[in-house]
Amino acid sequence: MKQQKFYKIGELANMFGITPRTIRYYEELGLLESIHRAEGDHRKYTHRAVIRLKRIFQLKDYGLALSEIQELFETSRKDSTGTSVKSQLIAIYKNKLAEAIEKKAKIESYINDLSWHIEQLEQVDNFYACPGPACKTCQWAQRCDFFEEEEA
């Protein structure tokens, strides 16, 4: 029978590049559990803590706050089938995906605006001619914030 490996708090912290204080904080939040082996002995963690920390960092990488992760872990304690957690996580991920798509559209628009401004500036001989007489023949006139149609 294989003996279960236990990790000291420092070992766990080193594995994940975090501080022991972070591990204690996650424990306070109920995200991790330690085992106190004997009176006065230091905290020990099982491989389950390693798995939990991997999950915490994965969820944080996907943009979840610790409070959302707490909710998921609490749901998992109440539902041994995982169905509720799965549904909850799908809803969160769909929301995060919609937010990311919206951010991507804004970034693409920003990149597009910067690109045409660079191209415009590279082709203008006299920076101070814009806005001015050059507007009549400027290929970016309809995009430019400074373009004004001459009044007839």
Query: What stretches in the chain show pLDDT beneath 50?
Result: none
Return the pLDDT at 96.
Answer: 95
CA 49/CA 89 separation, integer angstroms: 20
Return the pLDDT at 88.
Answer: 94
Return the pLDDT at 130.
Answer: 72
Q: Parse the chain into domains and list their residue ranges.
A: 7-78
Return the pLDDT at 131.
Answer: 72
Q: Are strands 35-36 and 7-8 parallel, antiparallel or unpaired?
A: unpaired
Return the pLDDT at 15.
Answer: 95
Return the pLDDT at 38.
Answer: 61
Return the pLDDT at 86.
Answer: 94
Instruction: Among 3.60.9.10, 1.10.357.10, 1.10.1660.10, 2.60.120.10, name the CATH number for the domain at 7-78.
Output: 1.10.1660.10
Cβ-based burial of 49 (10 A; exposed 0-12, middle 13-18, buried ≥19)? buried
Residue 147 corresponds to which tokens in the numbers above? 């373009």
Return the pLDDT at 89.
Answer: 94
